[in-house]
Structure 1
Amino acid sequence: MLTFRTSITFAVTAFIIALTALLIAVQLPSLRWATQDAASAYMDATTAKVLRRLQAEFSTVRTPVHVLANNSSVADSNERSETGSAVPLFKAALQEMPQMDGI
């Protein structure tokens, strides 16, 4: 038979183990939820930053492209040559905005 002291020790140990299991059961979903919220907030911030950068890129490229599109020597020409009157315009635009070739 178990003594009173041993019985109390086992009861307290069982109580501590049960509380630990409950704490773990509560903390794991909370940790997942917090992690997902943090990841979602980080991705939203990153998306907003990338969107601002892309908008800035397009706004800087928009003006030279608009000028080239409205230039009569470029718009009215069906000629495809390396010596046309549009070539200096394209060269000047590329020298001014090198990122235009990727867009």
Structure 2
Amino acid sequence: MNVGPGHYAALSAIVFTLGIYGVLTRSNLVGVLMALILLFAAPVIALVGFTHTGMGGSQPPLGDAFALFAVVGSGVEGAVGIAIALLVWRRTGSSDVDELVEVEG
């Protein structure tokens, strides 16, 4: 079976949709953070897939380099998010997003 750019686009759309669903339905701060990481992974899948099939208009190593930078950025975002979630949990005793909205100051 030949994997074309449509397959990569469909996979990217599915991952993006799962990320949106996770952000909207999760109440735990870490769950929301994991869903955000899925949101950032979806364009990377599309970028690598399109450069792999020649649809990106650039050479494959260039698309892979952009994808590598995006993955590193997503990893940094995840690390900072986990650190913030840990600090919020230590201060409030909860990582529930609904409870955090009600906290003042």
* Shorter-chain TM-score above 0.5: no
Give me the TM-score of the superposition, normalised by structure 1: 0.34
Q: Which has the larger radius of gyration?
A: 1
* Greater relative contact order (Cα < 8 A, sep 6+): 2
